[in-house]
Amino acid sequence: MDLKAYIRDVPNFPIEGVIFKDITPLLRDPAAFDHAVGALEAYCRTRRPDVVVAIEARGYILAAPLALRLGAAFVPARKPGKLPWKTIQEAYQLEYGVAALEMHEDAIAGGQRVVIVDDVIATGGTLRATRRLVERLGGEVVGMACLVELTFLNGRQGLDDVELHAVLTY
């Protein structure tokens, strides 16, 4: 299945000069959505995760069914102030600003194998911040997976020794 046919370019979103990769057409098609989650599952299953950590917000859409398919726990990484329990926080640089993510301080037990999932990797800032959160909690990041990789932004280069799998590249 050609999943690129289900990704829409939205120019100048969220700011002027950015071309946003919109996955909502893919989500609207059950067969395409199932195929995308299956493609992520094929990679993530080889990593044998105990936990799937998803990055707010579109990462949740992909990671929740993925975690169920893998029989793994689902842990959200959220924007500050959105989680109801004690959290740890990590700031990061976006291609168009600065942001931060939080996770519950009890979300991951020491030694758990973790895959981090998001919809898109651009500069890699959110993946790096999420990795730091997981490692601060004692988890072992055994892989990262995204539906879309924007290769021209070189986000993969900043991930060091953690393997990244992207279903689609632009």
Any idea of the CA torsion for 75, 79, 84, 86, to the nearest 10 degrees? 80
**Residue type for position 47:** R
Q: Which of 41, 56, 95, 163 is catalytic?
A: 95
102 carries an active-site annotation: no
Candidates 24, 53, 22; CA nearest to 140 is 53
95 carries an active-site annotation: yes
Q: Which of 47, 58, 128, 156 is catalytic?
A: 58
Asked if the peptide bond before residue 64 counts as cis, ω within 30 degrees of 0, the response is: no
User: What does the DSSP 8-state code read for residue 78?
Assistant: B
Distance, in Å, from the CA atom of 123 to the CA atom of 9, rounded to the nearest integer, reads 18
Question: Other CB atoms closer than 10 Å to residue 164's CB: what's the count?
Answer: 17
Q: Kindly list the catalytic residues.
A: 58, 95
